[in-house]
Structure 1
């Protein structure tokens, strides 16, 4: 970026037109995928620029941030009157790679359920790694640039943009997919489902209400649909989903103790369900 190795921090011009980070202190993000994005950036930055970038983000020095075609473009108000221009470009995955990844994701229904809920399952990285790909870009796949006079690879202006971008990731995990070359609609369609976000909600078929006299006559009688009602309880489709999502607890550094108890509780719960189903089947047969 800069050729000035004696660059010293300067106070930025204050503005009330910028994007202020929601975080006022402490952690910037809540979800694991946004934390991963920040962690990658923080590993290559020195502490001083990191702190100034965080301060810039919280003060609203990032004037704009736009996303388009795998690229983030932003303007950051620094110490000069003209805002600095920042660009972050990700290398999109080739279409053949996406097809391989989507085929792997389609084999795991709980991935689809979490994506529909606006969450990114933590095990999704395993699906990418299984086909020798990475969801999060490495340094070679990430091009960053700022026209400020700072010499560092990642200056405070870039850091500020990364913090605001991480908050966007926190709200919308599909942003990372878009930067990698696939929209939410593309992914959900490839996984055999649709998203209400895309504006394609199914309209339920209209059914006329039964007449009042019929309703009163049969009010205390079960309808024919009750015979078709059934509940099936099975074990989790992925091992230890809660532990995987929440991570290692502070009070118990080794998850193997919790995993053993989770296995036992799951086994007892399923045995209880089977017993209840068997007893209900016997009771129903006796009544008939």
Structure 2
């Protein structure tokens, strides 16, 4: 099908523009890793076709839900093209296993509760049998309503770039795509983590407190394992370095009266400029 019959790309106002005006798109390790994975599928040249679309604001909307990313992209036709990128979400059983592992390591819970993705998270998912990022292009169900038969077309490619920047702004979008929302994940981390690390409760009996749930095994019979950690320690020390815009990543998107989601993106450079 010839594309010249549709004319030039229709310019739009109010679209979602990529923050990066030149060079690479993606600032955080997780957004760069996502784009690197896509480029490793030998779609790099086709992927770059959508970079100008992403920077021109041709993507009208972008939504991340469990198992699917949907977008509306304005092309040369009057009606915007509808884009969908499917990625199978993890089952509840897989998520329960991952959450138990995260809760067992305080550093993971601390960083996630602080709105950050620790660099070791990808390895943890791999070891749990649930790779965070797709391993083959076949795991992505890429669809666009445009007449271009190339996959990805420039509308899909623009969606990928905007999706990477959405991951920059809110890393929990990656996990949401895989089936667990920020609220659900943090609620589960607070629950199991608190129970795992909670000290024995003290119950008042008369005037003297009595510890409950204390094992009856004599201490001399547990000396060989008394100082062993309940869970394996990491091979290297963990750190909790945070970025200046940490607070913005923890806040929900503001409502329209406060400027909508775009307010956080306008505040982000200010937070970073004020960092020591």
| TM interval, short-chain normalised | 0.5 to 0.7
Rg larger in structure: 1
The match for 1:178 is 176
Q: Tell me, in whole angstroms, the C-alpha distance in 1 between the residues paired with 2:64 and 2:99.
A: 23
**SS of residue in 2 equivalent to 1:113:** helix
Q: RMSD of the TM alignment (CA)?
A: 2.7
Q: Does 1:80 align with 2:91?
A: no
Q: Does 1:65 align with 2:59?
A: no
Alpha-carbon offset, residue 40 of structure 1: 2.0
Give the conservation status (yes or no) of the 8 Å contact 2:107–2:238. Answer: no
Q: Specify whether residues 22 and 43 from structure 1 end up closer, same or farther in structure 2 by C-alpha distance, changes over 3 A only.
A: same
Q: Tell me, in whole angstroms, the C-alpha distance in 2 between the residues paired with 1:148 and 1:44.
A: 22
**SS of residue in 2 equivalent to 1:89:** strand
Provide the TM-score with structure 1 as the length reference.
0.62
Q: Specify whether residues 104 and 181 from structure 1 end up closer, same or farther in structure 2 by C-alpha distance, changes over 3 A only.
A: same
Over residues 103-136 of structure 1, what are the superposed CA-to-partner deviations in whole Å (9 max), with x where a residue is unaligned?
1111211111111221101111221122222111
Q: Does 1:108 align with 2:126?
A: no
Structure 2 unmatched runs, 5+: 193-232, 243-276
Q: Tell me, in whole angstroms, the C-alpha distance in 1 between the residues paired with 2:99 and 2:146.
A: 40
- Which of 38, 43, 47 lines up with 1:41 in the alignment? 38
The match for 1:225 is none
Over residues 40-76 of structure 1, what are the superposed CA-to-partner deviations in whole Å (9 max), with x where a residue is unaligned?
2233455553333000000001111123343221111
The match for 2:89 is 92
**SS of residue in 2 equivalent to 1:22:** coil
Structural mapping, 1:1-288, within 5 Å: 11-44=8-41, 46=43, 48-138=45-135, 139-192=137-190, 239=236, 241=238
Q: Tell me, in whole angstroms, the C-alpha distance in 1 between the residues paired with 2:138 and 2:49.
A: 25
Instruction: Count how many residue pairs are aligned between Structure 1 and Structure 2.
Output: 199
Q: Tell me, in whole angstroms, the C-alpha distance in 2 between the residues paired with 1:103 and 1:140.
A: 29
Over residues 238-278 of structure 1, what are the superposed CA-to-partner deviations in whole Å (9 max), with x where a residue is unaligned?
62556x99xxxxxxxxxxxxxxxxxxxxxxxxxxxxxxxxx
Q: Tell me, in whole angstroms, the C-alpha distance in 2 between the residues paired with 1:120 and 1:171.
A: 12
**SS of residue in 1 equivalent to 2:90:** coil
Give the conservation status (yes or no) of the 8 Å contact 1:102–1:190. Answer: yes
Structure 1 unmatched runs, 5+: 195-235, 246-288
Q: Specify whether residues 179 and 65 from structure 1 end up closer, same or farther in structure 2 by C-alpha distance, changes over 3 A only.
A: same
Give the conservation status (yes or no) of the 8 Å contact 2:71–2:82. Answer: yes
Q: Tell me, in whole angstroms, the C-alpha distance in 2 between the residues paired with 1:238 and 1:190.
A: 25
Q: Specify whether residues 135 and 160 from structure 1 end up closer, same or farther in structure 2 by C-alpha distance, changes over 3 A only.
A: same
Provide the TM-score with structure 2 as the length reference.
0.65
Over residues 120-168 of structure 1, what are the superposed CA-to-partner deviations in whole Å (9 max), with x where a residue is unaligned?
0111122112222211123343211011121212111000011111111
Alpha-carbon offset, residue 10 of structure 1: 7.2
The match for 1:284 is none
Q: Runs of 4+ in structure 1 displaced over 6 angstroms?
A: 6-10
